């Protein structure tokens, strides 16, 4: 029985992130599963699934950077901002590669995005996609997003189609980036495909298909696919406790900061390991009180 860990999935098209969880519950025979970030049904790619107590980590991930390979088409505007939606506009495209490359930097760094109507953002207690399906459109406040970089890897000026490699933070809508690039170019644009190539430090090369997971379940080798929970927090420094300290930590007792080995002057949050080397969870250094306190048992 797998108690905790991460199963990195390669989500296929046509599945929602919740669909992936539902199917895995049937294969793994485990109810407590969570995922690290929603992917639209048309998207595919990396979806880390958290198993057992690892699901407690969903909202405290230190690295929420994601990378995408997104296909686009200039000249077409849809209500969903991707190719699955209803076409609202079709415009002639006379955009050179040079012109496109000149516009792209406007959408990197700290930017503001208006969430698309077909999204899970809530306005007055209602999901935007629920309102959109009812034929409504409401005003949405712009939200901050961070885009580390956008690289144009393919572009055909004759068709207005191409591919962008995008690295961004949590809550960024890739299809909105494409929609806004098209708007800035004066012709509109929509997303035609989306592959998440990396998320939370995991890459597409580490991701598994449903078929691979099912085969591992049938052969009783599921453990070989499971990544340890502490991999999610590899960017944090680590401390190792004594046996006595481990017991206190597990019971939520604050530890004397001066007696914990591995504490640095810079870091405030740590990965915590027991005397036997087992990962216990996360802890915060409170230097005003001189203690190391439990942040999350995992």
Indicate which residues carry an active-site annotation.
Answer: 40
> Which residues have a Cβ under 8 Å from the Cβ of 183 and sit 6 or more positions away?
189
Reported for 19-23, long-range contacts at CB under 8 A and 24+ positions apart, including other chains, are 20/47, 20/49, 21/49, 23/210
Strand order across the beta sheet in which 238-240 lies = 238-240, 269-273, 279-286, 291-297, 255-256
Neighbours of 31 (CB within 10 A): 8
What are 156's strand-pairing partners?
161
What is the 3 state secondary structure string of 191-225? EEEEEEEEECCEEHHHCECHHHHHHHHHCCCHHHH
The C-alpha atoms of residue 225 and residue 251 are separated, in whole angstroms, by: 31
Helices 210-218/17-28 angle, 10° precision: 10
Q: Are 143 and 120 in contact (CB under 8 A)?
A: no
Where is 156: in which H helix or E strand? strand 143-156
């Amino acid at each position: 029985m797998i108690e905790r860990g991460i199963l990195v999935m390669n989500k296929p098209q046509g599945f929602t992130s919740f669909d992936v969880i539902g199917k895995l519950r049937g294969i793994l025979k485990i109810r407590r599963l969570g995922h690290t970030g929603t992917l639209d049904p048309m998207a595919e790619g990396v979806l880390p699934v958290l198993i057992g107590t690892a699901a407690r980590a969903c909202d405290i991930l230190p690295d929420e950077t994601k990378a995408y390979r997104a296909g686009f088409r200039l000249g077409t505007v849809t209500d969903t901002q991707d190719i699955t939606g209803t076409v609202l506009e079709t415009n002639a495209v006379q955009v050179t590669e040079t012109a496109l490359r000149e516009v792209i930097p406007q959408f990197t760094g700290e930017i503001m995005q208006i969430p698309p109507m077909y999204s899970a953002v809530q306005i007055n207690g209602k999901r935007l996609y629920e309102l959109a399906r009812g034929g409504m459109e409401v005003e949405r406040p712009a939200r901050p997003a961070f885009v580390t970089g956008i690289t144009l890897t393919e572009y055909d000026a004759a068709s207005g189609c191409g591919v962008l490699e995008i690295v961004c933070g949590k809550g960024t809508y890739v299809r909105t980036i494409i929609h806004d690039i098209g708007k800035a170019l004066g012709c509109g644009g929509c997303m035609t495909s989306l592959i998440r190539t990396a998320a939370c430090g995991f890459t597409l090369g580490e991701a598994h298909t449903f078929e691979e997971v099912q085969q591992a379940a049938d052969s009783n080798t599921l453990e070989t696919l499971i990544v340890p929970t502490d991999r999610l927090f590899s960017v944090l420094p680590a401390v190792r406790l004594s046996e006595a300290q481990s017991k206190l930590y597990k019971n939520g007792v604050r530890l004397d900061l001066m007696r914990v080995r591995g504490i640095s002057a810079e870091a405030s949050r740590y990965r915590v390991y027991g005397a036997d080397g087992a990962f216990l969870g996360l802890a915060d250094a409170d230097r005003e009180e001189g203690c190391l306190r439990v942040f999350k048992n995992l």
